[in-house]
Structure 1
Amino acid sequence: MLSPQPPVVAVTAYDDRGSPLSTWPGSIPAVRQLLDRGLRLDPGITFLVGENGSGKSTILEGIALAYGMSPEGGSTSARHGTRPTESPLSDWLRMQRGVGASRWGFFLRAETMHSFYTYLEANPSSGPEPRFHEMSHGESFLAILETRFDSPAFYCLDEPEAALSFTSTLALIAKLRRIADEGGQILCATHSPVLAAIPGAAILEVGSWGMRRSSWEDLELVHHWKSYLDSPKRYLRHLLD
């Protein structure tokens, strides 16, 4: 008996995408690599890790939109928007979907969750929704996890740790691990060495070199955090003196 395939097997570019790689976002090394070589997505959890401006959120957004999710967050059935800011990357990408896998997905992006909560208030699901606007930022994120992350589908998360405390990040880790163990697939852009340490996750480090597979121990992100926590004064002396 064949093992079930993940929702997304690979991401490739259309041959006639019609945009030169010298223009944004094709000028970003990681995006250019995606368009040139494509990307095979592992089952389970994949992290995109890199500095601001490295292209990890642009790639995540492009894949989420190409899959059929709302550009400002939400599921494959959500249709809301306030101000279009997304790149044209999703129009250049095609998805190789897993045979027999779920077609449902959810895009969680920290920067647009406020407008998404308003959308949910105006378009309630079949049951009562939590009162997201009356919660703290972190509490509302956790409520989204409890009410939306409940099936083995495709989940895209853009820096979810931005709203979460250390303890809440651990709760997110447990939720993502459970979804992956049940056959779901997760693509997550993060700056968190805590989140990226999930056992068994694939890690793509994004930077001037493009995208490369890495281990948690070899990430520049991990080295910087370890050095800083070991001796904050050594870092701050150069910044503040």
Structure 2
Amino acid sequence: MDFDQPPVVRVSADDRLDPQEWPMTVPAVAQVVREGLDLAKGVTFLVGENGSGKSTLVEAVAVAFGLSPEGGTNQGRHTTRESESPLHRALRIQRGLGAARWGFFLRAETMHGWYTFVEQHQNPWARQPDSSYHEMSHGESFLEVLRTRFDSPGFYCLDEPEAALSFSSSLGLISVLDRVVGEGGQVLCATHSPVLAAMPGATILEIGEWGVRRTTWEELELVQHWRRYLDDPRRYLRHVLD
């Protein structure tokens, strides 16, 4: 029996969602519900355009795993305004044998609410109190979360973390993810960043009107567009600034 498994081995679903209603109308979501999704060890990137379903999938997997829908861990839940899709209620998580149950959901759009939650629920007996995230810049606070929270071999879900990070900080995030994987952790990340998606050894799933397909960094539409844009921005800008 293999006990060297990642925290999440497979995501499957039952049939409780109406196929005519959102989010089942999103091809990638419908495919995962229909076929399931095997998650490999290490890092898996979901890459796709806005509205393709990548964030919906990451959110649903995170909540089905037991993490707070607005970001954070499985040890404290906070809600400012319920906005998550019903997808998590249909998902079933097959956990790895002997794998850690710790996890963290870094969700760019709701992290400031999580900062407030953490500050209001400080552990007075903690050796090192949580940092005052609100006193930092957006990028600095993200980096501090990466430094202090990504420190166990658990399951880490990230939704577009590059939103707060510069180019050099994005490279720093790759270093953090590499350390997490080296310590036995597993990562599922939705991203628009060709920088993050270039991480060696990562699994890349491209999300779009076709559903979900495994691909390589070189074959990503995202990478091809960025290459053409950087080579000649006017090829793209003339269509939006006419």
TM-score by length of 2: 0.97
Inter-partner Cα distance in structure 2 for 1:174 and 1:35: 32
2:92 is aligned to 94
1:212 paired to 2:213: yes
Inter-partner Cα distance in structure 2 for 1:229 and 1:165: 17
| 1:36-115 to 2 correspondences below 5 Å | 36-115=34-113
1:7 is aligned to 7
Inter-partner Cα distance in structure 1 for 2:199 and 2:46: 13
TM-score by length of 1: 0.97
Inter-partner Cα distance in structure 2 for 1:238 and 1:49: 24
Inter-partner Cα distance in structure 2 for 1:84 and 1:154: 23
1:175 paired to 2:176: yes
Aligned length: 239
Give the superposition deviation at 1:236. Answer: 1.1
Q: CA RMSD in A?
A: 1.1
Q: Deviations over 1:55-102 (max 9, x none)?
A: 000000000000000010000112100000000000000100000000
Inter-partner Cα distance in structure 2 for 1:18 and 1:233: 48
Give the superposition deviation at 1:234. Answer: 2.1
Inter-partner Cα distance in structure 2 for 1:23 and 1:208: 16
1:145 is aligned to 146
Give the superposition deviation at 1:238. Answer: 2.2
**Counterpart amino acid of 2:172?**
A
Give the superposition deviation at 1:19. Answer: 2.1
2:190 is aligned to 189
Give the superposition deviation at 1:221. Answer: 0.2
SS of equivalent residue, structure 1 residue 218: coil
1:19 is aligned to 17
Q: Deviations over 1:27-81 (max 9, x none)?
A: 1100000000000000000000000000000000000000000010000112100
SS of equivalent residue, structure 1 residue 107: strand
Percent identity between matched residues is 64
Inter-partner Cα distance in structure 2 for 1:66 and 1:2: 23
SS of equivalent residue, structure 1 residue 216: coil
**Counterpart amino acid of 2:80?**
T
Give the superposition deviation at 1:104. Answer: 0.6
**Counterpart amino acid of 1:181?**
G
Query: Structure 1 stretches of 5 or more lacking a match?
Result: none
Superposed structure 1 runs of 4+ greater than 2 Å apart: none
SS of equivalent residue, structure 2 residue 114: helix
**Counterpart amino acid of 1:224?**
H
1:136 paired to 2:134: no
Give the superposition deviation at 1:110. Answer: 0.4
**Counterpart amino acid of 1:26?**
M
Give the superposition deviation at 1:237. Answer: 1.8
Deviates more, 1:222-231 or 1:174-183: 174-183
Q: Give yes or no for contact 2:180–2:186 (8 Å, CA) kept in 1.
A: yes
Give the superposition deviation at 1:2. Answer: 4.5
